[in-house]
Structure 1
């Protein structure tokens, strides 16, 4: 049985899909830039700590949101999740600015820690791209009152988003000696 999109979905779904393609591609292109443009004159060392704080705060808010949902405090759940979304959006904007402004810093560790670091980093990067549409669709369904659809997708969104937030902090910890 084929479902038809609501009028609202006819606008929102293509926008979410477009953002889900454009955002990861933009980050990829910026990472591959041959030259950096530090147009804000921000020191490279400022970004990693700020990003770790945003990711750590997002992880805490996600846990709070999960807790509030489990005790049926839906208004608190909604508010905490909206804040987590905005922190993630701030992170994304800041991350893009940092990629434009600063050369990448290589990881110089070796041995088993190197393997652990690259496993965490690669899974973090892959899931960061996947999380964009999941978060956008989950937020959209929740804010439009489509709670059944929201709950269905949130079962996937929450653990992936939480993993991405936590591994963002772990990447910072691994890289701390090299900043």
Structure 2
């Protein structure tokens, strides 16, 4: 394996640090003893907004996939940057929502409960995994390291799509309880 590029010496540690800090911050926020209602929004506002962001991100990921398969590299890049931007807005809003509102427990019973728990647990685990994958994929694409970009994007795309779609599913499962 070759030596790290000059930018890699800076960007790779930043990606690793962000990949550790982001899930830890969310974990701390989920377990805070007090909440600080920043914007005074209704409890259901954040989850609905998050579901819309996740749904739009999933749509853009599919569009981006189709575009790259058609060889539309510039359009692919722009769509994927937009998907990344929506995911960043989601993350910022999610942090604010956890500062503002305590987590709402799922109150469903019967056959839906294990389905919900499976979707939720896989969503949470893969949302942690997707942070470094997206950051590395974006970095390799934007630095025109297309071989490395394609190699990691093969993993990033299905996981990012799954996290986006299951984000919407979690919202739909929780809708009666907000």
The TM-score normalised by the length of structure 1 is: 0.98
The TM-score normalised by the length of structure 2 is: 0.98
- Matching of residue 109 in structure 1 with residue 108 in structure 2: yes
Q: Which moved more, 1:71-80 or 1:103-112?
A: 103-112
Q: Which runs of 4+ in 1 moved over 2 A?
A: none
Q: How far is the alpha carbon of 1:44 from its aligned partner? A: 1.4
1:9 maps to: 8
Q: In the TM superposition, what whole-angstrom CA distance separates every residue of 1:80-134 from its partner, at most 9, and x where no partner exists?
A: 0000000000000000000010011111111110000000000000000000000
CA root-mean-square deviation: 0.7
1:84 maps to: 83
**How far apart are the structure 2 equivalents of 1:3 and 1:55?**
37
List gaps (5 residues or longer) in structure 2: none
Output aligned runs, 1:23-38, within 5 Å.
23-38=22-37
Q: How far is the alpha carbon of 1:39 from its aligned partner? A: 2.2
Q: How far is the alpha carbon of 1:3 from its aligned partner? A: 2.8
How many residues align structurally?
178
